Chains A and B, each alone.
Chain A
Amino acid sequence: MPTLGDLLARVSFLAAMPAVAGLFVTGGVLVISRDWRLNVTALTAQYFFVVLLLTRLIRLEVAAVKGVVGWMICMVFYLTERRASALERPTNAGDVAPSQRWRRWIVSARASFYLLAGLLISVAAYTAALRLPLPEVPTDITLACYLLAGFGLLLIGLSEAPMQVGFGLLTFLSGFDLFYVALEPSLAVAGLLGAVSFLIALATAYLRVTQVVVGSGEEIL
Chain B
Amino acid sequence: MISGALLLLIVPLAMAGVVYILLRWASLSALLAVGTALALGVAVILLPLDQPVHFWGGREITLGEAVTFFGRELVVEQVDRWAMAFLFLTSAGIFSLAWRFVPHSLLFPMGLGLLSLLSGALLIRPLIYAALLIEIAAALSVFALQAEGQVPTRGGLRYLTFTTLALPGLLVTHWLLDRYALMPDETGLLDMAAALLAISFALLLGVVPFHTWVPAVAGGGMPLGGSFVLTVANGTVWFLLLDFLQTYPGFSSHPRFGSAVIGMGLAMVLLGGGLALAQRRLGPLLGYAALVDNGAALIALGTKGRLGLTLVLLSLLVRPFGLVLMAAGLSGLRACNGGADRFDALRGLGWKAPWSTAALVFGALSVAGLPVSAGFVWRWSLCRALSPSSPGSVVLILLAGAGVIVGIWRVLLVLLARPRLPKDRSVLSKGDSTEGWLTAVVVAMAILGCIGVGLFPQTIAPLAVGLAEAYTFFGP
Q: Is this pair of chains taken from one and the same complex?
A: yes
Tell me the A residues contacting B by CB distance below 8 Å.
Answer: 156, 160, 162, 165, 168-169, 172-173, 176, 180, 183-184, 188-189, 192-193, 195-196, 199-200, 202-204, 206-207, 210-211, 214, 216, 219-221
Assess the B142–A207 pair: CB atoms within 8 A. yes
Q: Are A188 and B146 in contact (CB under 8 A)?
A: no
A203 touches B136 (CB 8 A): no
Contact assessment for A162 and B136 in the assembled complex, using a CB-CB cutoff below 8 Å? no
Nearest B-chain residue to A134, judged by Cβ:
B172
Closest 3 CB pairs of A and B: A199-B139, A203-B142, A192-B132
Q: Do B139 and A160 touch (CB < 8 A)?
A: no
Q: Are A173 and B164 in contact (CB under 8 A)?
A: yes
Complex contact B168–A207 (CB within 8 A)? no
* Closest partner residue, chain A, to B146 (CB atom): A210
Is the Cβ of B132 less than 8 Å from the Cβ of A206? no
21 A-B residue pairs with Cβ-Cβ distance under 8 Å, sorted by A, are A168-B161, A180-B171, A180-B172, A183-B175, A184-B171, A184-B175, A192-B129, A192-B133, A193-B132, A195-B136, A199-B140, A200-B139, A202-B139, A203-B160, A204-B157, A210-B150, A211-B151, A211-B152, A220-B153, A221-B151, A221-B152
Asked if residues A199 and B136 are in contact (CB atoms below 8 Å), the reply is: yes
Say yes or no: A165 contacts B161, CB within 8 Å.
yes
CB-based contact B156/A207 at 8 Å: yes
Q: How many residues of B contact A (CB 8 A)?
A: 33
List the B side residues contacting A165 at CB < 8 Å: 157, 161
Residues of A within 8 A of B132 (CB): 189, 192-193, 196
Given contacts A165-B161, A169-B164, contact A207 B154 (CB under 8 A): no
Q: Which residues of B contact A (CB under 8 A)?
A: 70-72, 128-129, 132-133, 135-136, 139-140, 142-143, 146, 149-154, 156-157, 160-161, 164-165, 167-168, 171-172, 175, 220-221
How far, in angstroms, from A196 to B138 measured CA to CA in the complex?
9
Q: Which residues of B contact A172 (CB under 8 A)?
A: 164-165
Contact status B154-A176, CB under 8 Å: no
- What A residues does B156 contact at CB under 8 A? 203, 207
Name the B residues within 8 Å of A195 (CB-CB).
136
- Docked CA distance A207–B142 (Å): 8
CB distance from B86 to the nearest CB of A (A): 25
A169-B161, A203-B156, A203-B160 as given contacts; A214 in contact with B151, CB under 8 Å = yes
Are A216 and B151 CB-contacts (below 8 A) given A183-B172, A203-B139?
A: yes
Whether the Cβ atoms of A169 and B152 lie closer than 8 Å is: no
**Complex: how many Å from CA A211 to CA B146?**
11
Would A184 and B142 count as touching, CB distance under 8 A?
A: no
For B136, the chain A residues whose CB sits under 8 A away are: 192, 195-196, 199
Q: Chain B's nearest CB lies how many Å from the CB of A175?
A: 9
Shortest distance between the CB of A71 and any CB in chain B (Å):
19
Cβ A220 vs Cβ B171 within 8 A: no
User: Which among B72, B149, B160, B220 is the interface contact of A169 at CB below 8 angstroms?
Assistant: B160
